[in-house]
Each structure stands twice: as structure tokens, then as C-alpha cells.
Amino acid sequence: MARLKPFLHKLLPDSLFGRLALLLMVAVVSSHVLALTLMFEVLPRPPRPPPDFAGGLPLGPPHGALPGPHPGGPPPLFHLGLLLDIAVRLSALTLAAWVGAKWLSEPMRRLAEAARELGRDIHRPPLKEEGTRECIATTRVFNQMQIQMRQQLEQRDQFVAAVSHDLRTPLTRLALRAESLQDPQERARFGKDIVEMDAMIRATLDYLRGAADPEPFVPLDVGSLLTSMACDCQDGGQDVQVFGVVAAAPVRVQASSLRRCIGNLIENAVRYGVRARITLTDTDDALQITVADDGPGIAEAELQKVLAPFYRLEGSRNRNSGGVGLGLATASDIAQRHAGTLQLGNGPAGGLLATLTLPRHEVTMPISQTT
């Protein structure tokens, strides 16, 4: 059978149109042959008329009369043969339509699965260029797109590294010159500006590098992660508490990225809402992490806008709150990288609710680790 398969592939047309046309022609011809064969082999033959007693010949119509239709309509065998003919032809065409639909859907399914894996791993192996001419051409374009995306990400990383060096060099010189100022208050103000600029540069560069994060997916106990992060925040004097931690099954995630995502949500809650209340909900389909605060919340028209990079509300554009407008955007990008979602809403008693949903089905899906 293994040797016969390549031979059959050579006999088939190399285009999807040709294969579908051949399939329909084979279905039509085979349905005719099967229908006629069944009509002659399966149906009983009509009985022969009794012979004429005078000459031993079959009785025929009266002299001068023409043979006419069967009195009372066609015989029952005619109806049975017609139904059998229709059934055979319909079955053959249905089978041909099913095979044709499978030929059409299989390449689309492979491309959809490859695109899904590409979103998780830009360094995944390329697709095999096989199948019909249309499938080979589409697969070749898809693989070329993946190569171009990798090249653009590598160029972006080189650009980010160069910009990081170019920005930090004068910033370091400013910090050294600020130390030579005689006025303590002036020196403190310069130092605060330099620290803020350094934080903004670091946040921006980390965001630009985040999309190409080569971190692999590993099983992680999210409940233990939340408890550990809350303890670290409490040691730093922040009011962060976790509720509803259950013994949930591990979820396959990028551990450092997920920690940065949750950390950004906690930092946003503490900065603008004084305290953070974290709730973990485990279901059969997903893990849901909700971070609530006691702040003023966000207007409904701004809930989606704040997830965009570098977007800041008017109330956050001051020196006390700080921020660059990348915390929620980074968290949203990390959620999408895990095939999850980040939704913002206002609590019934006030404050902002940030809900991170991680789909449970990602645990069992084969995920290729990045190189």
C-alpha cells in the first residue's frame, strides 16, 4: 500500500481544480454504471407471457392493434427501478461531495493550525510544501512571511539594543554631573528626574522587546505564584491580599511573562487605587485572575483605550503617579500571547476590576518551545 500511494498521486492532477473535476466525472460515471447494474441484476425479471395454445407463440395484441402503455400506469417494477437509480446516483454524488469538501478543508485546517502556533512561537518549523499546486503556493508564501517576520524582529532587537546604549550613555553623564551640584535640593530634583527618565527608557525598551520574548511555555501553579507575589508586595509595604487561592491544576504559560503581567496589574492597582485585592477562580475551561482596587475607576469610554501602548489618562500625567502608559498594554499583550484576554471594568462599589483569563485548554495543546 505504501508503494501504491506515490503511484496514485502521480496519476492525479496536480491542481485542486483538476482533482475536483476528475472526482465529479468519476462519481457521475460510477453512479450510472452502478445504477444500471443493480437494475438488471437485483430486480426480478418480468414473467414471460403464456404461449398461444394454437401455435405455441406468445399471445400478442390483437391484429392491427399497436402496443400501448401498461393499463393502469407503469408496473411496480418501474417505480422500484427508478427509486433504486436515484438512490445510487445520490449516494455516489454525496460521497464525491464529502471527499471534495475534505480536500478543500484540510489545507485550510493546516494553515489555521500553523498560524495559531506562529502566534505562540515565531521560530516554529516551517510547513511542508506538499499537496496540490494551490496548497504548495500558499504554504510557500506562508513560510516566506514567517522568515520575513523573524528578520524584522531581529532587526528590531538590534535597533532596541542600539537605542538603549545611546540613551543610557548621556543619562549616565547627567547623573554624574548632578552629583557635583552644590545645592542639595537641586541635586535631589535632578536625581529624581534622572531616575524617572531611566524608568521610562527601561519600560519602553522592555515593551519593545516583549513581543519577541523567547521564553518557553512550562506548567505553572498560578495559585502559588499569586501568593508569592502578594508576600513580596507586603514585604515592600504595599497593601496586597489574595483571596480564593485553590489547588488548581497547573497551566502551561510563560512564567516570567505571566509574572510581569500580574505584577503590572498589581502595580497599577496600588498606584491608582491604594490597595490590590486579588481573586483566583478556577473552572474546567480557564483560570480567571481578578485584581480589584479602591481607586476612582476609569470612565467607560476609556476602558479599551488604556490598553493601547503609551496611552495615559489625564489624571495619571503627574509626577506623583508617574508611569509611561505601558503597564496595562504590556499585560494585555502577554494575555493575548497566552491565547487569553484582559478585560477592564468598574466594580459595583467603585474601583477598577482587571480580569485576566487564561484558557485551560492550552494545557493539553501541543506547544512548540522557542529556540
The DSSP result for 164-188, as a single string, is HHHHHHHHHHHHHHHHT-S-HHHHH
**Percent share of the chain, pLDDT over 90:** 10
DSSP 303-360: TTGGGSTT---GGG-STTT---S-HHHHHHHHHHHTT-EEEEEE-TTSSEEEEEEEEG
CATH classification for the domain delimited by 216-371, as one of 3.40.1000.10, 3.30.565.10, 3.20.20.240, 3.40.309.10: 3.30.565.10
Please state the domain extents for the chain.
216-371
Lowest mean pLDDT among 62-76, 125-139, 167-181: 62-76
Question: How far is the C-alpha of 54 from the C-alpha of 60, rounded, in Å?
Answer: 13
pLDDT tens digits, residue range 198-216? 777 777 776 666 554 557 7
* More confident call, 54 vs 47: 47
Q: Which residues contact 199 (CB under 8 A, 6 or more apart)?
A: 322, 324
**Is 164's pLDDT higher than 90?**
no
* More confident call, 75 vs 89: 89
* Residue 281 dihedral angles phi and psi, to the nearest 5°: -120, 125
> Do the Cβ atoms of 119 and 338 come closer than 8 Å?
no
* Residue 267 dihedral angles phi and psi, to the nearest 5°: -60, -40
Q: How far is CA 230 from the centre of its chain?
A: 32
pLDDT tens digits, residue range 317-362? 444 555 567 788 888 988 988 889 999 999 888 889 999 999 876 4
- In the structure, what pLDDT confidence band is assigned to residue 169 with cuts at 50, 70 and 90? confident
Mean per-residue pLDDT over the chain, rounded:
75
pLDDT tens digits, residue range 94-103? 777 777 777 7
- In the structure, what pLDDT confidence band is assigned to residue 16 with cuts at 50, 70 and 90? low
Check residue 4 and give its pLDDT.
63
pLDDT tens digits, residue range 91-149? 777 777 777 777 777 777 888 888 878 776 777 888 888 877 778 888 899 899 989 98
* Entry pTM: 0.53
Residue type, 127: L
Check residue 363 and give its pLDDT.
40
> Checking DSSP bridges between strand 251-253 and strand 218-220, what pairing results, if any?
antiparallel
Whose cell is 496514485? That residue is 8
Q: Is 276 strand, coil or helix?
A: strand
**Is 296's pLDDT higher than 80?**
yes
